[in-house]
A and B are shown apart, each in its own frame.
Chain A
Amino acid sequence: MVRTYVLLLWTWTRAAAAYPASFTLMILLGFVTAGLDVAVILVVFANTTTLAGFTREEVLFLYGAASLSFTVCDTFVGNIDRVSQHIKAGTLDTFLIRPVGAWMQLTADRFNANRAGRIVQAALVLGYACAALHLDWRRAWMIPVMVITGMVIFSALWTLAGAMQFVLTDAPELANAFTYGTHQLSQYPLSIYARDLVKGVTYVLPLAFVNWQPGLYVLGRDDPFGTPEFMRFLGPAAALVLALLAALAWRQGLRHYRSTGS
């Protein structure tokens, strides 16, 4: 499984190497655009000392954690959003005649390491925040758990969005709202949002478990919305449930594939 996936990634990397200028430019561009996100946070804190009760370093911590999960998924799973193009063009056929799962082939589809710049940027921000925050190190074990949980949640969301494409072939933007939109949302402390929205991203789409709930534990903070302490530890379970749902939806989606004429 892993060998096949790595092999596919390597194949696409070699294909992308046919266009070296584009590769370098995209790495730089990724680094710069991701840097803009941080610039926005810094600008906000140039005018205030706290944002919805959180300090600059705490916000950077939450941002870094969500971004690291997201950018890794964007690189290794996000290619699946091209499924709508493959469905429309009928080129999905060629994936389905191979002895390897379509999900694996699609997540590796036209893999391009040019998103690496953004992963590095997110890791740097998270590293800086952790160093600057004087964290309680007995709680630091939650940081890797949180990042991995986040990756599973974002991957599942991407897969769900991909599965939706089999039904709504004409709306890849809707799926993007789902993936990139949720990332935007999770970049800030959820306490800046309305209570109902936060309920939605806790109990319906479990985005709150990407960085918010486990992040509160690492930071040693109470939830401004007053959720009980045990919620901080539900991330992995929520991620697992969502991943299961996504897998089922993906299977159903493939069975509904209609291909194109001829």
Chain B
Amino acid sequence: MKRIALLGMPNTGKSTLFNRISGASARVGNWPGITVDLMSAKVLLGGHIAELVDLPGIYDLHGFSDDEQVVRHFLANNPLDLAIVLLNSSQIDRQLSLLLQIKKLNIPMVLALNMSDEAKKAGISIDIDQLAKSLAMPVLQISAKYGEGLPKALQAAAAVINQAQTASDPARISLALEEDQKIEKEMESLLAKYVHIPSTLSESSTDKLDKILLHKWLGLPLFFLAMYVLFQFIFAAGKPLQDGLAWALQLLRSSMLEPLFAGSPTWLSGLLLDGIYNGVATVAAFVPIIVLFFLVMSMVEDSGYLSRAAFLMDALMAKMGLDGRGFVMMLMGFGCNVPALMGTRMMRSRPMRLLTMLVIPLSLCSARLQVFIFMITALFSASQAPLVLFALYLMSFVTMFLTALLFQGQFKNKEPFILELPPYRFPTLRQIVLRGWLEVKHFLNRASKFIVIGVVLVWALTNFPSNVPPASAGTYAGQLGALFAPVLDPLGINNQLAIALIFGFVAKEIVVGALAVIYGLQGDALMVQMASQIDWVQAMSFMLFALIYTPCLSTIATLRNESKSLGFMWLSLAWSLGLAWLVSFVFYQTARALGF
């Protein structure tokens, strides 16, 4: 099978082009010589099935960032039949260097020039024919966003492949990568001959927007307002969808699955319905919020506003060893930690990415909010409720900043903060939907396996040994609760709450349901019962613990997957558990000592 690689600088529309060519058929795969996953897709080209690989966007083939090394190692280990290099026409003066670097490796090439409309507006003209002749490769103008010129470009690519040129030689490439002279000179002479750039650029609409959005004093308030509106949108639109889906899944269970398993043994229907079905339904109920998050996130990211947010917040974040982009991801975490963790992929420096990933699980996600609202309604008056909730949000920020401050020494990022500010762009609907869909597919794939196993385990713990009532003190879960008593008693967390916390380890959505099972009550009756069993100090201690100790199994699985390090996952887990215990302990003992 022929192999084609897609190369280019960040922000040139490379992923857009990849998605457009591959449709939704892309998959993630491993490659020789490198440790990170790359996206690839099988495409039909000139009568051949070819494999198209999307390499990370790089500025410089001879640079030393993670991405640049990945690309070099890939080229030095995998033969290529064709490299499609995508450049941004309006920045050709500095992007041409990458093309010339790759050209030196003797890989059959096609040059695709993206965003020619932007270049035209800036008054940049490029002599395509002469440039192609001089470079000795096909040069084509395309629009990755709208697909213009794409068929022609693919034809040119097919022609290059069909000329039966031999594939690139990885051994020679690894030799050739040693030297990178002459390129600068060649680039200068090409630019001088074939490209004309006017000396001053007129003020663009991006400049006008930046004057407001990056304003010294208005910039940050406007940013917070924009984030607030986006969160409101996600919850306003996501909540009814989530409730509707949960309702439909419940209906499916009561109207179809329960009658279907009515005749089977209790343990089997229990395992399938209370265990696996409930587990899968829990994940499924996540989906609408996740989809919305990715839609909004890819919109913000592709629009160019995220780099602006990074600019505005960087001064503050730098004091904690993070940068402006980390702040945006922390905010994302208030909806759901999982997409926020995935969002850290845009960071190039691994230590900084890890530090951001250590901080995100402490943001008060919507699932935890559900638990808190239940507890607050049960134990606090209506006038106290907003204050308690505000205190929990404040605590979430405090723990995040504390974590970053404490760990910034361990995750010193060597990488400087230099970021390109792309012009504002409107992403197309197709772009947003396709990207959202791919992310959702990956999320479901990972989360479903994890949740099914976790839920089956919890079900087994509360149902065995079978000679005692489910979820009672005699079950394994009850025994586990008693086992944790010496640790949790100093926090004022009793055995019943301890079992709920064990459930909450899988997903916070289960906590309220778990309490219902444990107390054998529902709704108002459950709240009255709880208010008679614990006081507000215990409830607050429980909520503080639930806020900090760990978000859910999906988050832990995502931490593991994104960091590709089991050690880091354990560090995050141990730190949040330790911090949760300490905070609850200090709060509970202080409150009691003060006589509450």
Q: A and B bound? A: no
